[in-house]
């Protein structure tokens, strides 16, 4: 057996009826990624030989979401031990260590999984290692009952526990590590002689001990082993995940002025000396360079912001936005599928969509790129150093040359040459005394 001989079985066949959702429970997002995606990410860092996800009938959406990881189907919901048995074909011939995890326990870390593997390989060569948690208020969790030497003797469900057993604070977190050579030998001895008629994976401990095999416990923080069965628990998991992401961001050199109000996605990348104002939201696919300032109430998704740029407040960067170094995107500006050149300024009340903005161009307040004609999107190109006056409408496809000026209030439908002035608005007319006559007439 090599150090890399690990297989992972992820149980994801639960329907999640308490979620009251058409979406399979394990696909509900956490920090922008499906819950089961977090579990897969944690196990991927173990470099396992095999990974298999156990799903229920009709859960093709989960199969698609976890691809290329293979899936097997648990034909009927007959309990957790039966679910692991469904993975037997995928584990044929495997004799290493087998981790059993849950797709709705998304906060478990690779470090904890490594500790479980290490415990499984250590003396006295336990057949099973169970992940446990210490709880002040253990409630209805199953209790882990250990011997004087610290080895695990049995798991007692709350309803079956006596007063002394209920006083135990070490509880079952559900995750287990098995010696793959003994896994199915033990599973095959689990019966369903219980009120639900199901095959419980927790019964494996008493079976292993009866066969003379050792069993062990590895403790883990309660936050890591939170299972999500309802939307209220999903909200708790989101809070815990956001706390983890914020701490990582600050440890890596970002300043979060009000951390609790900043929401990050699992793939958000922040450079050094980045400052994030209050109530900023990062969707998936955002990369921020060094020395960037993201001001309050901004929303970014699938966007790239280069070094030294300033975003917001109240800015929205939509997918395909690329902001070059030292550019400014100001308040109530929306940018979509556009390149904003180095040092360019788009500071007020503006929509820039499907556009290329040259370096050091200045876009006046109220400017919009009219990129959609009802059938297709068209591009606007604004050259380096161009100046677009306030309240201009640029009807794409259109090109504004380098250094050109567009007068305020213009509706531009034709390309503007470099260094030219374009004014496209009606000529102002004045009628002396008209306003006074109008008011007199109305009275």
Please give the positions annotated as active site: 348
Count CB atoms within 10 A of the CB of residue 140.
10
Distance CA 322, CA 133 (A): 45
Q: Rounded to an integer, what distance in angstroms lies between the CA atom of residue 96 and that of residue 1?
A: 6
Question: Which sign, positive or negative, has the C-alpha torsion 81, 86, 87, 93?
Answer: positive
Q: Where are the alpha helices (DSSP H) in 181-313?
A: 183-187, 204-210, 231-251
Classified as helix, coil or strand, 113 is helix
How far apart are alpha carbons 149 and 371 in whole angstroms?
72
The set of residues, in sequence order, having a beta carbon less than 8 Å from that of 197 and lying 6+ positions away, is 78
**Chain centroid to CA 73:** 26
- Please list, in sequence order, all residues whose beta carbon lies within 8 angstroms of the beta carbon of residue 81, skipping any fewer than 6 positions away: 187, 190, 199, 200, 201, 203, 204
Tell me 314's DSSP state: S
**DSSP E strands, 284-407:** 287-288, 293-294, 299-300, 303-305, 310-311, 316-317, 321-323, 328-340, 345-357, 362-363, 368-370, 380-382, 387-388, 393-395, 398-400, 405-406
Residues forming a β-bridge with 40: none
Eight-state DSSP code of residue 428: P
Distances in whole angstroms, Cα of residue 62 to Cα of each of 34, 174, 225, 228, 252: 10, 21, 21, 16, 34
Smallest Cα–Cα separation from 9: which of 95, 87, 118, 67?
A: 87
Q: The tokens 């936005």 sit on which residue? A: 321
For residue 442, give the H/E element and its range. Answer: helix 434-442
Q: What is the length of the chain? A: 443
Cβ-in-10-Å burial (0-12, 13-18, 19+) of 20 comes to exposed
């Amino acid at each position: 057996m090599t150090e890399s001989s690990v297989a992972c079985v992820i149980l994801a066949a639960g329907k999640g009826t308490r979620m009251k959702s058409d979406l399979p429970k394990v696909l509900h997002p956490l920090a922008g990624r499906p819950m089961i995606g977090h579990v897969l990410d944690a196990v991927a860092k173990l470099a396992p030989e095999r990974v298999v996800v156990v799903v229920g009938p009709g859960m093709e959406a989960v199969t698609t979401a976890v691809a290329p990881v293979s899936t097997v189907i648990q034909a009927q919901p007959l309990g957790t031990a039966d679910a692991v048995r469904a993975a037997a074909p995928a584990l044929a011939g495997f004799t290493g260590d087998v981790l059993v995890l849950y797709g709705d326990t998304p906060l478990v870390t690779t470090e904890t999984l490594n500790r479980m593997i290490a415990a499984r390989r250590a003396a006295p060569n336990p057949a099973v290692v169970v992940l446990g948690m210490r709880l002040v208020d253990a409630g209805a969790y199953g209790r882990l009952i250990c011997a004087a030497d610290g080895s695990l003797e049995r798991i007692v469900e709350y309803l079956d526990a006596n007063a002394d057993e209920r006083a135990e604070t070490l509880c079952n977190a559900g995750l287990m590590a098995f010696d793959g050579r003994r896994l199915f030998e033990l599973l095959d001895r689990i019966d369903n002689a219980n009120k639900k008629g199901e095959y419980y994976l927790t019964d494996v401990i008493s079976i292993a001990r009866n066969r003379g095999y050792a069993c062990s416990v590895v403790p883990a923080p309660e936050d890591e082993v939170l299972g999500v069965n309802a939307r209220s628990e999903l909200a708790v998991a989101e809070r815990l995940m956001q706390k983890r992401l914020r701490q990582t961001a600050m440890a890596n050199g970002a300043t979060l002025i009000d951390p609790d109000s900043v929401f990050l996605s699992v793939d958000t990348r922040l450079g050094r000396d980045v400052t994030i104002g209050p109530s900023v939201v990062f969707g998936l696919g955002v990369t921020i360079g060094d020395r960037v300032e993201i001001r309050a109430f901004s929303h970014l998704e699938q966007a790239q912001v280069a070094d030294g740029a300033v975003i917001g407040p109240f800015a929205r960067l939509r997918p395909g936005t690329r902001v070059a170094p030292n550019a400014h995107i100001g308040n109530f500006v929306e940018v979509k599928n556009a390149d904003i050149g180095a040092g360019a300024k788009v500071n007020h009340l503006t929509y820039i969509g499907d556009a290329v903005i040259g370096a050091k161009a200045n876009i006046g307040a109220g400017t919009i790129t009219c990129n959609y004609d009802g059938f297709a999107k068209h591009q606007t190109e604004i050259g380096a150093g161009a100046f677009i006056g306030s309240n201009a409408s640029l009807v794409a496809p259109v090109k504004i040359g380098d250094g050109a000026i567009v007068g305020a209030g213009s509706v531009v439908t034709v390309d503007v040459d470099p260094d030219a002035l374009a004014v496209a608005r009606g000529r102002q007319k004045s009628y002396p005394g008209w306003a006074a006559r109008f008011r007199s007439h109305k009275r």
